[in-house]
Copies of this chain bind each other. A is one copy, B any other.
Amino acid sequence: MAETDQAAPPTDQLATMDLTETSLNHAFSDRVLIRSIVGRPDGGAGLAGKRVRAGGWVKTGREQGKGTFAFLELNDGSCPANLQVIVDAGVAVLNKLVATGTCVVVDGILKVPPEGAKQRIELRVENVVHIGEVDPAKYPIPKTKLTLEFLRDHLHLRSRTNTIAAIARIRNALAFATHSFFQEHHFLYVHTPIITTSDCEGAGEMFQVTTLINEAEKLEKELKENPPPSEDDVEGAKKLVTEKGEVVKQLKAAKASKEDINASVAELKNAKEKLSKLEERFKLKPGIPKKDGKIDYTQDFFARQAFLTVSGQLQVETYACALSNVYTFGPTFRAEHSHTSRHLAEFWMVEPEIAFADLKDDMNCAEAYVKYLCKWLLEKCLDDMEFMAKNYDKSCIDRLRMVADTPFVRISYTEAVDILEKAVKDGKKFENGVEWGIDLASEHERYLTEVKFQKPVIVYNYPKGIKAFYMRLNDDLKTVAAMDVLVPKVGELIGGSQREERYEVIRERILEMGLPLEPYEWYLDLRRYGTVKHCGFGLGFERMILFATGIDNIRDVIPFPRYPGRADL
């Protein structure tokens, strides 16, 4: 797969756009967005004769007519399509304009190009307002075909490529679609914390957040510049205090003048202060503070050990159990040393939580949400989707259409295992064995959604042994009310469950799993006081983008990927 310079043609996504002059959108700038010219249903033809200022970066440029004029394909990121710009040699030094990556702002008149041209409008330049030059010999990404791997080493410039720009627009669309969906259904957006002291899922995979190392380094530096007192220094200071004390005593005994006594008292006070300071500094020890052989977290910023969140679910439940319908959409973190194309150390999750709702409601919500996202992209991002279809994944648009239009299959985990066992019997080879009780592997999930049903599948009621303590125990006492949404291309897109709302049952489950009760007391309070049935799910936002775009590596669908050994910028 390669980065290409081929931009999709403008689509009718802006069909509702006003065709009068007011449709020229400036977005708080004196230049008009290229999208509001070439993104019109008429490809911009109706704007012929208009004088506009346009700006963008040169995708391709070439001098023509023996250097008498230049063609520039200008892109400002507002849409995948470029604006064709023609500059005469009399207006500017042409060879300063044509290098890929050059930033150009121009004033000119929109004209309909000669018959047979690809474009339906072009800009004839009257005046060049700004040139941000590029030296093609030095520009890190001058070529039009660059691998996504190469671009990962140039995070700060890769959004200038058609591919990363299209992904950015698709990501933006999915984020706003997410908010729109939940707001339309009266869910409240809740900002769950990033820094957490609930190390509920085991601290091993969590990043620690601390100021202890910085503080220790500051102290170490300070002690080097300004060494702490020796034991002798302290002893000397003690001796001085004794001596000065003696002097005061003697003067008082000798009924000396008030002046003399006061002076000696002042000296004693000074000596005492000096001693106390020395004693304090004497106690300072370089390194991270310890107590009883362990790190003393009472001296850390939050007075206890703190981590980056792995999920906002438990916290957002506190809001669901008061405001009924809520969701969180924010960054989450895993300190796993995974070097796969499916894992990031920092990624975004969408986590709705619904009170007065059970697993069926949860599945209904998940299905409606995923369909909404697919429809949104088809309606508002078709030009970018066409770019992805042309360059990365022929089937990505069909996949969106299929998911938007097809009722999701719903099968129990037990039915899923039956299907997989039958497949094995019929000769299907899996790397991982299949039997009731296993966690479904990615290959199993993809078989169900891609081969068996060829549509989205929701698997529900999983064995309790492979699921978290907070999932609601079913009446069979063997399974919990969990569900996963599986889709073609990525497998599991969503994982969710009805939460255990019965105090005695959840308490038992925590103990059964060998977890301590104390850190969960606040969570148990939600069941102690005014408990309510509720459910929720989590959607891995980057997985949704992989699903939509057909991109293979998750590092390419987040602006600034973080993974073992890398956190550029």
Contact = CB atoms under 8 A, between A and B. Distances in A.
Given A27-B324, A308-B209, A567 B193 contact: yes
Interface residues of A, number: 123
Contact of A354 (B27, B190, B319): B27
Given A28-B185, A331-B191, A157 B209 contact: no
Contacts of A523: 156
Contacts of A280: none
Contacts of A560: 191-193, 315
A440 interface: no
A77 B186 CA distance: 10
A249 B34 CA distance: 81
Contact of A325 (B27, B301, B525, B558): B27
Q: Which of A58, A103, A330, A346 has the most chain B CB atoms inside 10 A of its CB?
A: A103
A567 B302 contact: yes
Contacts of A354: 27-29
Given A28-B361, A159-B318, A567 B196 contact: yes
Nearest to A99: B530
Contact of A562 (B139, B187, B195): B195
Contacts of A190: 168, 172, 559
Number of copies: 2
Interface stretch (A210-218, A387-395, A441-449): A210-218
Interface in A510-569: 522-523, 525-526, 528-533, 558-560, 562, 564-569
A15 interface: no
Contact of A188 (B140, B168, B355): B168
Interface of A: 25, 27-31, 33, 35, 55-58, 76-78, 101-103, 105, 130, 132-135, 138-140, 155-157, 159-160, 165, 168-169, 171-172, 175-176, 179, 183, 185-198, 203-204, 206-214, 217-218, 288, 295, 301-304, 306, 308, 314-315, 318-319, 321-325, 330-331, 333, 335, 337, 345-346, 348, 354-357, 361-362, 364-365, 368, 501, 522-523, 525-526, 528-533, 558-560, 562, 564-569
